[in-house]
Amino acid sequence: MKNRLQGKNVIITGASGGIGAEMARLAARQGANLVLLARSVDKLQSLKTELEQSYKVSIIVRSLDVANTDAITDVFTEVMAEMGHVDILVNNAGFGVFRHAHEANLDEIKAMFEVNVIGLMACTSLVLLSMRRRGSGHIINIASQAGKIATPKSSVYSATKHAVLGYTNSLRMELREVGIFVTAVNPGPIATNFFEIADEQGTYVKNIKSFMLKPEYVAKQVVERMMTNTREINLPRWMNAGSVIYALFPRMFERIGRRAFNQK
């Protein structure tokens, strides 16, 4: 694993905290050079200082709001010129808001699609030609179990993650013959500040706290599979089993799981 990431160039969006920051720590430990992107440049600079004190790797940080496609073009063009090429792109930036469909306003809906879907696609498009020319690379899209199992109060967020999975699956088939790996990461709830926005009332976190994944664990599962031909990373496994049952028996699953689905 160390040899696999040694000297590789890795871009991580949403790298200022949560699994983004943890992936950065693990990748740097294995000798990867990093481009860390997020809106909070102060947090990125702090992470850069921490990693440079521990590892002999190159780290570039840039402030980036992936809802701004013009900014994505500018930042990616700049960092690609500086680092030469990218081996791994981790599309990690994203957010959600849990509301009933009739309560979601259009600005909120647009913002979730701009960040979770359009931003992800824009970042990917800017590394694809370079990867195709080199015949090597790995695109890792952080999706969600919400992209497989829709639940109440997640209509918009779930729609964005269904879109991410559709895009990822198509991309994988396009790139299969040119040596580029494409992986979808589908975690369940993770104990990060994601829920400070998504779950304003704290009800959902309170109800599922004992089931929440640790960001360090999720990051480890992703980094261990960098530059490997991994189709999906589904966490936890029991939740993914539920998505399989849902695909086969949707009506029964929705009826039996109604109480659990309404914990938001």
Of the residues 55, 157, 167, 204, only one is catalytic, namely: 157
Q: What angle do CA 5, 8, 9 make, to 5 degrees?
A: 135
For residue 181, the cross-strand partners are 138
Q: What's the pLDDT score for residue 246? A: 80
For residue 163, which of 203, 214, 193, 120 has the smallest C-alpha distance?
Answer: 120
For residue 218, which of 4, 3, 25 has the smallest C-alpha distance?
Answer: 25
Q: What's the pLDDT score for residue 44? A: 98
Q: What are the structural domains, with CATH classification, of the chain? A: 2-261 (3.40.50.720)
Q: What's the pLDDT score for residue 259? A: 63
CA distance 39 to 48: 15
For residue 139, the cross-strand partners are 89, 182
For residue 202, the SS3 value is coil
157 is an active site residue: yes
For residue 153, which of 102, 197, 117, 201 has the smallest C-alpha distance?
Answer: 102
| CA dihedral sign of residues 116, 119, 125, 131 | negative
Q: What's the pLDDT score for residue 195? A: 47
- Pinpoint the alpha helices (H) of the chain: 2-5, 18-29, 41-54, 69-83, 106-113, 120-134, 155-175, 194-198, 203-208, 215-223, 237-248, 250-256, 258-261
What tens-digit pLDDT sequence spans the chain (264 residues)? 457 999 999 999 999 999 999 999 999 999 999 999 999 999 999 999 999 999 999 999 999 999 999 999 999 999 999 999 999 999 999 999 888 899 999 999 999 999 999 999 999 999 999 999 999 999 999 999 999 998 888 999 999 999 999 999 999 999 999 999 999 999 987 765 554 554 455 555 454 455 678 999 999 999 999 999 999 999 987 777 878 888 888 888 788 766 666 665
Whether the pTM exceeds 0.85: the reply is yes
Q: What's the pLDDT score for residue 152? A: 87
